[in-house]
Amino acid sequence: MSDWWRRNRGALLAIVILVPLMVGIAGGWEFWNRVQGRPTFPVAAAAGSSLDFGGITFGPATAEVTSIPDAQLPPNTKIIAVSVRVDRHDATTSCSIPVLRELTGKGRVWEADAQIVPWNWRLNALCPAQSTRNLFPGGAFSIDVPFIVPDDVDGELGVEFTIPNQLPRYARLVVVP
């Protein structure tokens, strides 16, 4: 038996090295394909701070619990209105409508809901692309978005923006309502 091990030690050594290497490469490739088109890696700014990301300056961001008279909210919910100062520096970069993420606790995520909240949607809710730039003010402007969240939400929240050509990185501004 020891003669067999000696004759085949090169092949066995190759198997011991190449099999884990192939599994690692295949797993890494699958992971990268999964995350490259999704916001996965946050670039964060602390509460009250600004962040330069993808040619856009985000922040500072503010959040406050508010009430809107005609809003028919689901039971045990509240509205958190988020306002973020944005300066594109005359770039043609666009960004998404932000989402709100719970940074502690359950890590829940909320999107703006135009169906329930009678919000003035003429306010800026995103960074437009160049083709619609003439509809928005030049220079810095504010993005204002309401989020319906459960009553038990408190502590730090993250306002998150994605910029298509920056994925899988995304911008996160921390707010405390």
Q: What is the pLDDT of residues 22-63, one digit of tens each?
A: 998 888 888 777 767 788 889 999 999 999 998 889 999 999
Q: What is the pLDDT of residues 72-127, one digit of tens each?
A: 889 999 999 999 999 888 777 778 889 999 998 889 999 987 677 777 655 666 67
What single string gives the DSSP state of each residue in 129-166?
-GGGGGGS-SS-EEEEEEEEEETT--S-EEEEE--GGG
Task: Place 128 in a pLDDT band, splitting at 50, 70 and 90.
Answer: low
Which among 73, 150, 68, 63 has a CA at the least distance from the CA of 109? 150
| pLDDT value for 131 | 45
Same domain membership, residue 87 and residue 18: no
The domain of 30 spans 2-35
| pLDDT value for 49 | 96
Residue 174: count of CB within 10 angstroms of its CB: 20
Question: Reduced to 3 states, what is the DSSP secondary structure of residue 17?
Answer: helix
Nearest-angstrom CA–CA distance, 132 and 120: 19
| pLDDT value for 75 | 92
Task: Place 67 in a pLDDT band, splitting at 50, 70 and 90.
Answer: confident
Average of pLDDT values for 117-145?
67
Same domain membership, residue 169 and residue 129: yes
Same domain membership, residue 74 and residue 149: yes
Same domain membership, residue 97 and residue 12: no
Average of pLDDT values for 153-164?
92
Same domain membership, residue 80 and residue 45: yes
| pLDDT value for 1 | 64
Question: Reduced to 3 states, what is the DSSP secondary structure of residue 90?
Answer: coil
Higher pLDDT, residue 106 or 135: 106
| pLDDT value for 47 | 95
Same domain membership, residue 14 and residue 96: no
| pLDDT value for 172 | 97
**Burial class for 61, CB neighbours closer than 10 Å (0-12, 13-18, 19+):** buried
Same domain membership, residue 20 and residue 89: no
Same domain membership, residue 45 and residue 31: no
Which among 174, 134, 160, 177 has a CA at the least distance from the CA of 40? 160
Same domain membership, residue 117 and residue 99: yes
Instruction: Residue 134: give its domain's CATH number.
Output: 2.60.40
Q: Are 172 and 42 in contact (CB under 8 A)?
A: yes
| pLDDT value for 88 | 83
Number of domains in the chain: 2
